Amino acid sequence: MGFDDICGTGLALGFGFSSTANNQRSRKPPADKGGSLSFEPSLTLSLSKDKSADHLSSSTYSNASVKRERDIGSEETEVERVLSYRVSDEDLDDDVSNGRKKLRLTKVQSALLEESFKQHSTLNPKQKQHLARKLNVRPRQVEVWFQNRRARTKLKQTEVDCEFLKKCCETLTDENKKLYKEVQELKALKLAQPLYMQLPAAATLTVCPSCERVADAGEKAPTKPHFYGPFTSPSAAC
């Protein structure tokens, strides 16, 4: 997404996203065991060739994943079910033969997974095995859950970042418009009064670019005025 030269002033605005979850495509788990995912939107405001980038990162993702009452019965019965739930290779074969079968995770299972995800968003094989045993589910299920969870986190973060950047964009567009208007006004002023001698009182504070001497309206005119016309070189005036 980009906004190129909105007001014709040579200013260009653009933004995009780049992930820094160990460079996103890195298949290795993050070095830091926290395994934090961070997605960095980059906001770029460029004036012709000059380019600057600002990396932003926020983590305002609110966890709303376990919000549905998906199971009947009390927590206790659920725990029992978690602990009695066994998945074997035969089950896996069954799934394959019967087509896709969706096993809804229980509240307790989801909560445990969520808890684990808070600690590290990626799992090494050992952690996966351990968690799978703890939850009485297949390691593959744990893996899939984490995958989907990461995807959800990323989506939420992208939404948040997008909102933020939209606001940035609006602000910058306004700013840009203001500056453009100012430029137009100054241009108009310059055209209307080609000679600096005709400048109104507010603009009579002049600086000679050559000697850098400031002269205001009240000051006695120097023997040789430092005024110069639009077609004369400033340096020639001194």
Partner DNA sequence: AACGCGCGAACCATTACTTCA
Partner DNA sequence: ACTGAAGTAATGGTTCGCGCG
Using CB under 7 A as the criterion, which residues of the chain lie in contact with DNA when the complex forms?
19, 21, 24-29, 65-70, 95-96, 99-105, 110, 122-125, 128, 140-141, 143-152, 154
Query: In whole angstroms, how close is the CB of 76 to DNA at the nearest point?
Result: 19
Closer residue to DNA in complex, CB, 27/49: 27
Token readout for 61 is 């993702």
Alpha-carbon torsion, ordered 209, 215, 221, 223, to 10 deg: -40
Closer residue to DNA in complex, CB, 27/220: 27
Pairing of strands 11-19, 39-47: antiparallel
Residues 6+ apart with CB under 8 A from 129: 139
What DSSP designation does 63 have? -
Query: In whole angstroms, how close is the CB of 121 to DNA at the nearest point?
Result: 7
Query: In whole angstroms, how close is the CB of 27 to DNA at the nearest point?
Result: 4
Query: In whole angstroms, how close is the CB of 44 to DNA at the nearest point?
Result: 21
| Cβ atoms 15, 3 nearer than 8 A | no
Closer residue to DNA in complex, CB, 15/146: 146
Burial class (CB in 10 A: 0-12, 13-18, 19+), 37: buried
In this structure, is the dihedral angle defined by the CA atoms of residues 12, 16, 22 and 26, taken in order, positive or negative?
Answer: negative
Closer residue to DNA in complex, CB, 26/235: 26
| Cβ atoms 198, 229 nearer than 8 A | no
Backbone angles phi, psi at 230, to 5 degrees: -65, -20
Closer residue to DNA in complex, CB, 23/52: 23
Direct distance between the N- and C-terminal alpha carbons of the chain, in angstroms, rounded to an integer: 52
What DSSP designation does 150 have? H
Closer residue to DNA in complex, CB, 51/70: 70
Query: In whole angstroms, how close is the CB of 55 to DNA at the nearest point?
Result: 18
Query: In whole angstroms, how close is the CB of 4 to DNA at the nearest point?
Result: 24
